């Protein structure tokens, strides 16, 4: 059995930047066990397995696996997947855009491809309905696990607490006042995994509004040891959750729409830039997360 496989840098237009995901075109009806074994062997934060829906144009069935388990949704692997599908002719393009959809365990989501030129495209995914989840977070315990002081939490001028937010996956959004403090975080991964297990969440997304690039709105680090990801260089779902957190806590006003740029992965020497847009739609809010991607390996997976 031979399957097409690609390695992709998501949320970067350069090799050795962004968050690497593997994308496998599943023409062979792989079993869940086979998918998990492949993801474990590849040892990337996520591997996406894509089936082409022959009954509906530009519709794809996608499953996501970390080295340890399947997850319902993955932002950076979605960006990687649709870059592969676009660059390899699986998507019907009309003009300079294409509207697609992916069916995942978290639901069916809209994905847009915006084409700038023959070499440059931006992949944008609609995330799930955003909401803050009421869970009892032991802030003192988390600070001890992260190796920071409780006085380091927050944003100057605002009264903020860590909150669990979801746009498809639940994460703690954790505000930190200073960039230097964020850079020095060294979590106890075993204890952090225990907290995530107790709260039934994926991980913790730490951020500060102090940034390296003046055009960015936050600098971020993401830790998800429970699912086998000690630190991730770019996290799409958590970026959507962060955008919602910033709006709901009145850090930024929202009239009709607002766009954000988030930095991540710099302490890993994997610089990433994630774009998030939140749109007010009557009584609801829609969140889109997107960025560029770069395919740097293509080949054949032989089973």
Q: Would you say how long the chain is, in residues?
A: 303
Q: How many angstroms separate the CA atoms of 168 and 185, rounded?
A: 26
- Give residue 281's pLDDT: 82
Per-residue pLDDT tens for 141-196? 999 999 999 999 999 999 999 999 999 999 999 999 999 999 999 999 999 999 99
- Give residue 28's pLDDT: 84
- Residues 6 or more apart whose Cβ sits within 8 Å of residue 212: 179, 219, 263, 266
What are phi and psi for residue 168, nearest 5 degrees? 145, -35
Place of tokens 């089936």: 51
- Residues 6 or more apart whose Cβ sits within 8 Å of residue 34: 303
Q: How many angstroms separate the CA atoms of 259 and 280, rounded?
A: 12
Q: Which residues are catalytic?
A: 46
Radius of gyration of the chain from its Cα atoms, rounded to whole angstroms: 18
- CA 300, 87, 9: angle at the middle one, nearest 5? 75
The chain-wide mean pLDDT, for the chain, equals 96
Q: How many angstroms separate the CA atoms of 74 and 66, rounded?
A: 10
Q: What is the DSSP letter of 267?
A: G
- Give residue 98's pLDDT: 93
Instruction: Give the confidence band of 243 by pLDDT, cuts at 50, 70, 90.
Output: very high
In the chain, DSSP assigns E strands to: 2-10, 19-25, 46-52, 59-65, 70-71, 97-104, 107-117, 120-126, 131-133, 163-166, 170-175, 203-208, 218-224, 229-232, 257-264, 272-281, 284-291, 293-302
Largest CA distance in the chain: 59
Instruction: Give the confidence band of 80 by pLDDT, cuts at 50, 70, 90.
Output: very high
DSSP-based three-state secondary structure for 164: strand
Q: How many angstroms separate the CA atoms of 80 and 289, rounded?
A: 13
- Give residue 282's pLDDT: 82
Instruction: Give the confidence band of 299 by pLDDT, cuts at 50, 70, 90.
Output: very high
High-pLDDT (> 70) share of the chain, %: 100
Listed range (52-61, 96-105, 112-121, 187-196) with the worst mean pLDDT: 112-121
DSSP-based three-state secondary structure for 147: coil
Domains of the chain listed by start with CATH number:
2-127+291-302 (3.10.310.10), 131-290 (3.10.310.10)
- pLDDT of 217 strictly over 90: yes
Residue 89, strand partner residues: none
- Give residue 118's pLDDT: 73
* Token reading at 224: 């998800």
- Give residue 47's pLDDT: 98
DSSP-based three-state secondary structure for 194: helix
Q: How far apart are the first and last CA of the chain?
A: 5
Per-residue pLDDT tens for 88-109? 999 998 888 899 999 999 999 9
Of 12, 18, 285, 46, the C-alpha closest to 167 is 285
- Give residue 283's pLDDT: 81
């Amino acid at each position: 059995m031979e399957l097409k496989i690609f390695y992709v840098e998501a949320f970067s237009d350069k090799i050795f930047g962004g968050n690497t995901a593997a994308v496998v075109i599943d023409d062979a009806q792989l079993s869940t066990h086979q998918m998990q074994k492949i993801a474990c062997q590849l040892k990337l934060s996520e591997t996406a397995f894509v089936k082409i829906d022959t009954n509906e144009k530009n519709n794809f069935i996608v499953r996501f696996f970390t080295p340890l388990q399947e997850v319902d949704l993955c932002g950076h692997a979605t960006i990687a997947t649709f870059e592969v599908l676009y660059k390899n002719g699986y998507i019907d393009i009309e003009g300079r855009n294409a509207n697609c959809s992916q069916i995942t365990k978290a639901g069916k989501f809209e994905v847009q491809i915006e084409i700038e030129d023959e070499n440059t495209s931006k992949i944008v995914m609609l995330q799930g309905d955003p909401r803050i989840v009421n869970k009892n977070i032991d802030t003192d315990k988390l600070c001890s696990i992260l190796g920071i002081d409780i006085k380091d939490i927050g944003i100057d001028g605002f009264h903020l607490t860590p909150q669990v937010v979801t746009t498809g996956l639940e994460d703690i959004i954790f505000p930190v006042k200073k960039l230097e403090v964020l850079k020095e975080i060294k979590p106890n991964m075993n204890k952090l995994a225990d907290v995530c297990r107790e709260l039934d969440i994926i991980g913790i997304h730490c951020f500060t509004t102090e940034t390296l690039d003046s055009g960015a709105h936050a600098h971020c680090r993401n830790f998800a040891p429970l699912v086998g990801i000690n630190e991730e260089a770019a996290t799409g779902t958590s970026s959507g959750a962060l955008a919602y957190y910033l709006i709901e806590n009145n850090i930024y006003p929202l009239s009709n729409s607002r766009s954000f740029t988030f930095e991540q992965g710099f302490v890993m020497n994997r610089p990433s830039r994630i774009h998030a847009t939140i749109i007010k739609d009557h009584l609801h809010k829609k969140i889109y997360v997107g960025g560029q991607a770069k395919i740097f390996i293509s080949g054949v997976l032989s089973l």
